[in-house]
Amino acid sequence: MTKNTVYKIVVLLAVYIITGQLFAEDFSRRHQTMIKDIEDTVRETRHYLDKEMFDQRVMDVMAKVPRHEFVPSSQQDNAYQNRPLPIGYGQTISQPYIVALMTDLIETRSEDRVLEIGTGSAYQAAVLAELVNEVYSIEVVEALGEKAAKRLQRLNYNNVHTRIGDGYYGWPEQAPFDAIVVTAAASHVPPPLINQLKAGGRMVIPVGSRFMTQQLLLVEKSNDGTIATRQVMPVVFVPLTGKH
C-alpha cells in the first residue's frame, strides 16, 4: 500500500466520521423537535383526547426509535418532519403524531403480545417492540415485507416476528392478542381479527387515505366479550361555532 493510498483512506475515514457525526447530531436535534411538536399537539388536543399527554412510555419510545432508519434514503432529510412520507410501492410511513396516538390508544403493557396488520416500513412495529413483549406483523406486499424484516433484524428488534401474506385471518397460531394495530386500508373490521383479540383487548384502525388519516377507529373487547367502538378524530376541531 503506497503512502498516497493510506493518506486517502485516512482522509476518507475522517470525512466519513465527521459527516456521520454531523448527520447524527442533526438527526438527534430534529428528532427532539419532532417529539416536542407531538407533545405540543397533545396538549392542545387534551380536552378531546381526555388526557393531558400521551403515556410517557409511548413518548419515550417515540424519542428513541430512529425514524430515519425506516424511510428510504431519498426521504432521510424529511424523516423527522411530523408528516407521512412515501416509502415506495405506493405505501407510506405514517405521520409520527398518528403513530404515537395509535400506540397510546391501545394502552400497551410490557407483557403484551400485539398483532400488526400491515408492516409497511416497520416503524410502527419497532415502536411497539420497545413497549411490549412480542410483536407479530403481517405484510401483504412481498417486497415491502422482506425489506421490513431485514430492517428489523439489522436494528435488533428481535421480538418482532414478521410474515408475508393475507392479514384478514390474522395470525391464529399466536392468537389471542392483547392488542391489534391495523395500519393497512380495511373496508370493514375483519371478524377473524375480533376473534383473535383477548377479552379486555383493544384494536385500532386508521380511516382515510394513505396520506391523510381522517379518524381512528378504536375497537374494545370487554371482559364479557362484547364489542364497542370509539371513533377518535386525530385533530382538535369543534365544528360548531356556538352561534346557533
Catalytically active residues are 94
User: What phi, psi does 72 have (nearest 5°)?
Assistant: -65, 155
Using CB under 8 A, pick the residue from 17, 21, 207, 225 that binds another protein. Answer: 207
The single-letter code of the amino acid at 26 is D
**Nearest alpha-carbon partner for 138 in 185, 184, 86:** 184
Say how many Å lie between the first and final Cα of the chain, rounded. 84
Q: Compute the radius of gyration of the chain from its Cα atoms.
A: 20
Interaction of residue 227 with another protein, rule CB under 8 A? yes
For residues 144 and 122, the answer to whether their CB atoms sit within 8 Å is no
CB of 57 to another protein, least distance (A): 22
CB of 129 to another protein, least distance (A): 24
Q: Is the peptide bond before 176 cis (omega within 30 degrees of 0)?
A: yes
Q: Which stretch binds another protein (CB under 8 A): 20-28, 106-114, 120-128, 222-230?
A: 222-230
For residues 200 and 223, the answer to whether their CB atoms sit within 8 Å is yes
Q: Which stretch binds another protein (CB under 8 A): 51-59, 122-130, 155-163, 165-173?
A: 165-173
Interaction of residue 199 with another protein, rule CB under 8 A? no
Cell match 410501492: residue?
Answer: 89
Site string for another protein, 48-87 (x = CB under 8 A): x--------------------------------xxxx-x-
CB of 170 to another protein, least distance (A): 14
For residues 204 and 106, the answer to whether their CB atoms sit within 8 Å is yes
Interaction of residue 189 with another protein, rule CB under 8 A? yes
Chain contacts with another protein (rule: CB under 8 A): 37, 41, 44-45, 48, 81-84, 86, 88-91, 95, 97-98, 101, 140-142, 144, 164-166, 168, 185, 187-191, 194, 207-215, 217, 219, 227-231, 233-244
